[in-house]
Chain A
Amino acid sequence: MNNIIAAPMIIPILIGILLIFFRRFTLLQRWVSFGGMAASAFISIYILNQIQSQGIMRLDFGGWEPPFGILFVADSFSMLLVTTTSIVTAVCLLYGFSSIGEKREKMFFYSFVNFLVAGVNGSFLTGDLFNLYVNFEIMLLASYVLIAIGGEKRQFRESIKYVAINVLSSFFFLIAIAYLYGTLGTLNMAHISVRVAEVGQTPILTVIGVVFLLVFSLKAGLLLYYWLPGSYSAPPSMIAALFGALLTKVGIYAMFRVFTLIFYHEPEVTHTLIGVMAALTLIGGSLGAIAFKDIRQIVSYNVVIAVGFILVGLAVATPSAIEGAIYYLIHDMVVKALLFILAGMMMAVTGTAQINRMSGLIRNYPAFGWMFFIAMLALAGVPPLSGFIGKMLVGQGAVEAGSYILVALAFISSIFVLYSLLRVFLNCFWGETIIEVEEKVPMKKGWLISCALLTLMIFGLGLGAEALAGYVSSAANTLLNPEIYIDAVLND
């Protein structure tokens, strides 16, 4: 019995509910949310270390043994993501304190951020397919509110699309779960895996696998990303940062889990399909990233490219590619939060989102300009920053597997990332300054502190990759050897 592994979900839920009663006390709301996130970050790190010594931990809710009850399973992969989620959210909250505005803060903003994180952490932790659906819904319901909070026209327009596409994909998710339950008679992921292995992955099971792929690619923005740039550019930048850092990652996590634990017997079909979709995502995302002049669109298309890149790792599924994908996933959560926050700051100081109307920002705000530069290098994968190790390992794995087209596309997309952000950098930060000294919007302390923390994390992840190596290889090991996961759940 490990009640502690439910803490990363329970703490945000309880805090979220309690904060509803303290609607008018903004200061209290801010620091309680921040404290809760920090606490769950520390607890997650503690659990992560426990897993290294004791193996995978699980919690059977209400004492119902698997495969009958629902359960949380904490392995290194999920705990790495839970830890990153809590830390990134805590830093985003710091940025939110000074950017989100009193009006939104009084509309239960912090409660819904907490619910969002609860759903995200729950999705990472759960060991039951239907419970995964429930956690997805918790996360999505909170995100529906967050995307529309404040009630601007643009937000409403985008939220309708966002809600429609997500309701549709949730519907497909339910259908896929129903098919799988009808075929195998169980919903516990480890138990499903055992049964799929027993009967062999028959064509019908592969088709169900493809339905799951469809669902998760809608959520993750793999190929089916057409809703993503619009939705992620509508809400205030702090919410966009949370979305960009967390939401697509949950879809990616679900894909990794399902296609390494359950449907891994027919890689010629499923993994090839993932590879093709990843390749098309990389192409489409790269074109989108250089096509627009709106900073929010550019940044959102960078999210799409990263999704394609991470799934190249899953498509080739060699040990080093999986390890690389995990490194890159963690890096991407941090760096996308930073990128969205920087984009939000650029819009806040210039009052426009068009990059050709900004110029010379680095003269007014040097620290800000350099942090953008560092984020750009990290995204392009320049050592010693955090993107490097992930890109290198994914590339190495893809070469080992002989998928040269994917390698080529993955690295060409990095050049497009670099080009798209370099264009922003040249346009907005270099050149003659357009902001007069007396008109200069003072940079708030919270903005710089949150950016500085994320930049430090980029350096930390890059230089401290060695410290992470143990956790990442344990995570990759569990993903590549499903029996470790199954043993921990069923034969304990």
Chain B
Amino acid sequence: MKINDVILHAVTKIVVFIIFTMAVYLFLSGHHNPGGGFVGGLVLASAFVLLFLAFDMETVRHAIPFDFKYVAALGAFIAVASGVGSVFFDAPILSMTHGYFVLPIFGETELATVTLFELGVALAVVGVVVTIILSIGEDI
């Protein structure tokens, strides 16, 4: 018997975008408020997990055709590179800096290199969590 999960599909399609937005919000607010790369990454991963639950693995793999192991590795690389990059600016490794820039739409914005590090953390978390859940799912 085919399970009729049309409601789950319909809800998921909307809710996933809400979760994505929430993840981006948490990620960006992390600089001064509660949040940050780790939490943002976890929330982002929960959106992927919801997709995998609602639809089957093949469908989602087809829609999101990348290997999450490499996402984790990319994240780790960005995080390490953001620390090591200070070598090129003649500063001690892991130095962070920030500045204020006037951008077209946002007006005066604070841009910090910590955000790059957080981006790396977020990608690493997404990659690791989804990889773990997928490999557990494949076993059963």
Contacts and interface: CB of A to CB of B under 8 A. Distances in A.
Interface in B71-92: 73, 76-77, 80-81, 84, 87, 90-92
A100 interface: no
Contacts of A20: 69-70, 73
B92 A17 contact: no
Contacts of B91: 1, 63
SS of A interface (majority): helix
B94 interface: yes
Contacts of B90: 1
24 contacts: A1-B90, A1-B92, A3-B87, A3-B92, A3-B93, A10-B80, A10-B93, A13-B80, A14-B81, A14-B84, A17-B76, A17-B77, A17-B80, A18-B77, A20-B69, A20-B73, A61-B93, A61-B94, A62-B93, A62-B94, A62-B95, A62-B96, A63-B91, A63-B92
B121 to A, nearest CB: 14
Interface in A1-50: 1, 3, 6, 10, 13-14, 17-18, 20-21
Given A1-B91, A14-B77, 8 more contacts: A3-B87, A10-B80, A14-B81, A20-B70, A61-B92, A62-B93, A62-B95, A63-B91
Contacts of B92: 1, 3, 59-63
A138 to B, nearest CB: 12
Contacts of A13: 80
Interface of B: 69-70, 73, 76-77, 80-81, 84, 87, 90-96
Contacts of A1: 90-92
Interface residues of A, number: 15
B57 to A, nearest CB: 21
Contacts of B77: 14, 17-18
Nearest to B78: A17
Interface in A58-72: 59-63
A59 to B, nearest CB: 6
Contacts of B80: 10, 13-14, 17
B70 A21 contact: yes
Contacts of B76: 17
Nearest to B70: A21
A3 B88 CA distance: 10
B102 to A, nearest CB: 27
A63 B80 CA distance: 17
A21 B66 CA distance: 13
A156 to B, nearest CB: 15
Nearest to A18: B77
Nearest to A19: B73
Contacts of B95: 62-63
Q: Which 7 A-B pairs have the closest CB atoms?
A: A20-B73, A61-B94, A62-B94, A17-B77, A62-B95, A63-B92, A17-B76
Given A3-B87, A14-B80, A14-B84, A21 B96 contact: no
Contacts of A61: 92-94
Nearest to B90: A1
A118 to B, nearest CB: 10
B86 to A, nearest CB: 8
- Tell me which of B81, B87, B92, B96 has the highest count of chain A C-beta atoms within 10 A of its own C-beta: B92
- Tell me which of A10, A17, A21, A60 has the highest count of chain B C-beta atoms within 10 A of its own C-beta: A17
A91 B12 CA distance: 53
Contacts of B93: 3, 6, 10, 59, 61-62
Contacts of A21: 70, 73
Nearest to A62: B94
B24 to A, nearest CB: 25
Nearest to A6: B93
A68 B69 CA distance: 36
Contacts of A10: 80, 84, 93
Nearest to A1: B92
Interface string A47-85: 000000000000111110000000000000000000000
Contacts of A62: 92-96
Contacts of A18: 77
B73 A17 contact: yes
Contacts of A63: 91-92, 95
A300 B137 CA distance: 38
Interface string A374-399: 00000000000000000000000000
B95 to A, nearest CB: 5
A142 B29 CA distance: 33
Nearest to B87: A3
- Tell me which of B87, B91, B93, B95 has the highest count of chain A C-beta atoms within 10 A of its own C-beta: B93
A1 B86 CA distance: 12
A289 B70 CA distance: 44
A59 B87 CA distance: 12
A62 B95 CA distance: 4
A17 B71 CA distance: 11
Contacts of A6: 93
A21 B73 CA distance: 8
A61 B86 CA distance: 10
A343 B77 CA distance: 37
A18 B80 CA distance: 11
Contacts of B96: 62
